[in-house]
Amino acid sequence: MISLSLALCISAFGSLCLGMPRHFEQTFQRKSPPLLLRALRGLGWLLLGLAILPAIKALGPSVGVALWASALTIAAAGQALLLTYQPRLIMPVSLLAPLLVLPLLAV
């Protein structure tokens, strides 16, 4: 459950990054429609809100919120590094992070 929270945070920050015109152009080398930017930002905020649920379910409300804050920090730092050095990897990492965690949850 903790890994799912981190994966959702990674995807959320990827969506929030791509929801900014400058970062979208940096990643895809083209302008984006304003509606797409708004949708990406909304998806990012939704995923951030959903990321707290697995942490609270696994460890309870007090420790879960602290874990979620730690996951936010790690995910934001990782996305910032990707944006700085490999902006084209933001979308694949954001899409694959939750998918890679799903097999761990089945065990």
Q: Where are the domains of the chain?
A: 2-106
Cα angle value 83/87/89 (rounded, 5°) = 115
Q: Is the pLDDT at 35 greater than 70, yes or no?
A: yes
Under 8 Å between Cβ of 15 and 94: yes
* pLDDT at residue 12 in the model: 96
Write down the pLDDT at residue 73.
Answer: 96
Q: Output the pTM of the full model.
A: 0.91
| Per-residue confidence (pLDDT) for residue 107, from 0 to 100 | 65
Q: Tokens 């697995």, residue?
A: 54
* pLDDT band, very low/low/confident/very high, at 48 (cuts 50, 70, 90): very high
Answer whether residue 106 shows pLDDT above 80: no
